[in-house]
A and B are shown apart, each in its own frame.
With several copies, the nearest count.
Chain A
């Protein structure tokens, strides 16, 4: 049992932090958000850092790193409140690595390592976090397939070269690749609440390639990888949020003393620290459980999303509260942390949904090893 980071992992973290400190300050980030939430220069910088290929095998031109390294990187990226869709890219890469055949991997992974964006497009209206809520259909058309349906909140969907699209093929869920710009596709991009970018993707008899027939397994894997990365980013955001809040409490004066001297606020800060540390442990748990058999993996990731979701909501809300008026302005960083945490809570299933997953998967056993 070991929760230390290796030297390589610490170097990775430091590299991301250095880039963020130098190149992703509050003003640049705000300008990117105002311009729509995706900056091609930032994307190129991330690609040059090797981050797009972080988890892609070296054989396909990536860095070939694992779940713990992904956690390390995304924790640092979370702290930078990164708008660009590195997390969705890594989810798509994980899906292709585990569920696509060798040809598809060879076709896509090297390009993704070099910055070509591919993202999962799975959210449907009235889906309510359920992975099996899919009304998009696919029908065979010779060697290819034709897809029809509508997908929402596709991360940076209008900047992606292709989307991984779950669709019903003969009633069962399968996963397809659809290239943006193909006939029968249309995409409408928009900013999201935290300033990043998403899109509606409409498919009308659009041509798709089959990625895998067991779409349910691929989607479950995508969600679990996604939860682990969300947890890592969440820890990064919360770490920064708490630091901001502590600094504010020790700086801001009322009644002649720093407000950090008031016991009620001090105890709130202690509770925020608790929420953060519980989430941090669960983020490690998530990353270390990704490789376990599916039943264990899904139970672990559902538990993670519940704890991290609760932590995010508490830390975000209390950080705003403890900042008072300045906490609800756009001009100060803490509200952006809060919105980012809110958006992360709603991504890959919210807290209540995953509580249901935990309840459904509960056994007689107890504890981390159960």
Chain B
């Protein structure tokens, strides 16, 4: 039993840190460290940079063009990205649809879709949720009817993250209404430029447009875009869920945000406020305890032993900690968190800032925005159901 990384792992970390430092635009990193809104270019530019290095798909096996890193190396890379203030790698392409294509796609589909994901050129989004089906995904109603070499898709998806920028969407669609609700679902890739696809961005409570409604009105999708077998989509979606790993806890970003919280407390002259400081200390303990959980999962993966069955715990705790970090940051600012000045959220504020310090501008919106973390990706209530199922049957 050992908590230290090997010399090789430490050398690896130095290497990726150096590379990131050399390639990450400091202006973009500054936005990340300040919690400002990121543009499409901020996100995709960095994805392309990583793609050119072969590191965007850093969790992929070598056989599909990944670097073949160990779980610990993947974690160290993720940590280096987080601490450097790199924009997030959107999971929809490399983390979500790619493993399904690798596992269940044809060689043609793999050659057609994977390179664009690995390079960061093609922006993917996820079409699962529908207005009537949130936690109850199996009740989805968007239907795809076979018409020769095509499917005709009709229906509506919602909560589709960043679909307004997306080139492709991977969807769960209903291809049969027979049997149990789960059995009639298929996994279909759809070009967002197809006629009949309409995207409406939804304004969120923090003023940002992060999710969308997507309508399909007689959209013709080539049957070649079906992954695996018709009516087996539920199996593939479950495979994808089981594929989610330690990074679901997002602990590296929590560590970065804890540092930011401490910087803010110092800058605002509240570092010596014992009451506030106790709350920061309690959160520091939470984050260390979460990291130990993550490291145990990683170590189990590395040693080839069965991974700990605690993905749901990681999701619950990680999301709660993200929310608490944002909550405390807002409370550090106090009433100075109240001005809502859009340009200050984008980092484009140039005049004297009437709200004290523009660094405080993103704090409340972020607190509002992060309420989503205990809702999406399977709400924390659903996650507790999963944990209980494991414990009690």
- Chain A interface (Cβ < 8 Å from any Cβ of B): 1-6, 9, 68, 123, 125-129, 152-153, 188, 190-193, 195, 198-200, 242, 246, 249-250, 253-256, 260, 262-267, 269-271, 273-274, 277-279, 281-282, 284-285, 287-289, 303, 306-307, 317, 320-321, 324-325, 327-331, 335-336, 338-339, 342-343, 346-347, 350, 352, 355-356, 358-359, 362, 364-368
| Bound form: Cα–Cα A303–B316 in Å | 21
In B201-235, which residues have CB < 8 Å from any A CB?
Answer: 202-205, 207, 211
- CB of B159 within 8 Å of the partner chain: yes
**A4 contacts B356, CB within 8 Å?**
no
Chain B positions within 8 Å of A, measured between CB atoms, are 1-6, 9, 72, 129, 132-136, 139, 158-159, 202-205, 207, 211, 251, 254-256, 258-259, 262-263, 268-270, 273-282, 284-293, 295-296, 298-300, 302-303, 305, 310, 312-313, 316-317, 330-331, 334-341, 354-357, 364-365, 367-369, 371-372, 374-376, 379-381, 384-385, 387-388, 391-393
Chain A residues, CB < 8 A from B6:
1
Q: Which of B129, B134, B354 sits near A199, CB closer than 8 Å?
A: B354
Contact in complex: A4, B299 (CB < 8 Å): yes
| Nearest CB of A to B389, in Å | 8
Q: Which residues of A contact B268 (CB under 8 A)?
A: 126, 128
Tell me the smallest distance from the CB of A318 to a CB of chain B, in Å. Answer: 10
What's the Cα separation between A207 and B339 when bound, in Å? 27
- How far is A306 from B275 in the complex, measured between Cα atoms in Å? 14
User: How far, in whole Å, are A306 and B288 apart by their CA atoms in the complex?
Assistant: 11
- Given A281-B289, A281-B296, A355-B275: A128 and B305 interface contact (C-beta under 8 Å): no
10 contacts between A and B (CB under 8 A): A1-B9, A1-B72, A2-B302, A3-B300, A190-B354, A330-B204, A342-B367, A350-B331, A366-B255, A366-B262
Point out the residues of chain B lying under 8 angstroms from A355, CB to CB.
275, 278, 281-282, 285
Is the Cβ of A346 less than 8 Å from the Cβ of B381?
no
Give min CB distance, A321 to chain B, whole Å.
Answer: 6
Chain A residues with Cβ under 8 A from B337's Cβ?
193, 346
B296 in contact with A284 (CB, 8 Å): yes
Is there an interface contact between B391 and A269, defined as CB atoms closer than 8 Å?
yes
Inter-chain pairs besides A253-B132, A264-B381, 17 sampled, C-beta below 8 Å:
A123-B335, A128-B334, A191-B340, A193-B338, A193-B339, A270-B312, A277-B313, A278-B317, A281-B292, A328-B205, A330-B204, A343-B338, A350-B331, A355-B282, A362-B280, A364-B259, A366-B259
> Given A277-B313, A342-B367, does the pair A331, B203 have CB atoms closer than 8 Å?
yes
Cβ–Cβ contact B204 & A306, under 8 A: no
CB pair B292–A266 under 8 Å, yes or no, is no
Residues of A contacting B356 with CB < 8 Å?
A: 125, 152
**Contacting B339 at CB < 8 Å: which of A190, A254, A328, A331?**
A190
Asked whether, in the complex, the Cβ of B303 is within 8 Å of the Cβ of A368, the reply is: no
Q: Which residues of A contact B254 (CB under 8 A)?
A: 366
Whether the Cβ atoms of B368 and A352 lie closer than 8 Å is no
Q: How far is the CA of A342 from the CA of B334 in the complex (A)?
A: 11
Known: A190-B341, A192-B340, A270-B387. A288 touches B1 (CB 8 A): yes
Residues in B whose Cβ lies below 8 Å from that of A255: 135-136, 139
Does A269 lie within 8 Å of B289, measured CB to CB? Answer: no
Q: Is the CB of B276 within 8 A of A329?
A: no
User: For residue A249, which residues in chain B have a CB less than 8 angstroms away from its CB?
Assistant: 392
* B336, A339: Cβ atoms closer than 8 Å: no
- State whether A359 and B385 are in contact (beta carbons under 8 Å apart), knowing that A190-B355, A192-B338, A321-B374 are contacts in the complex: no
Expressed in whole angstroms, the minimum distance between the Cβ of B364 and any Cβ of chain A is 5
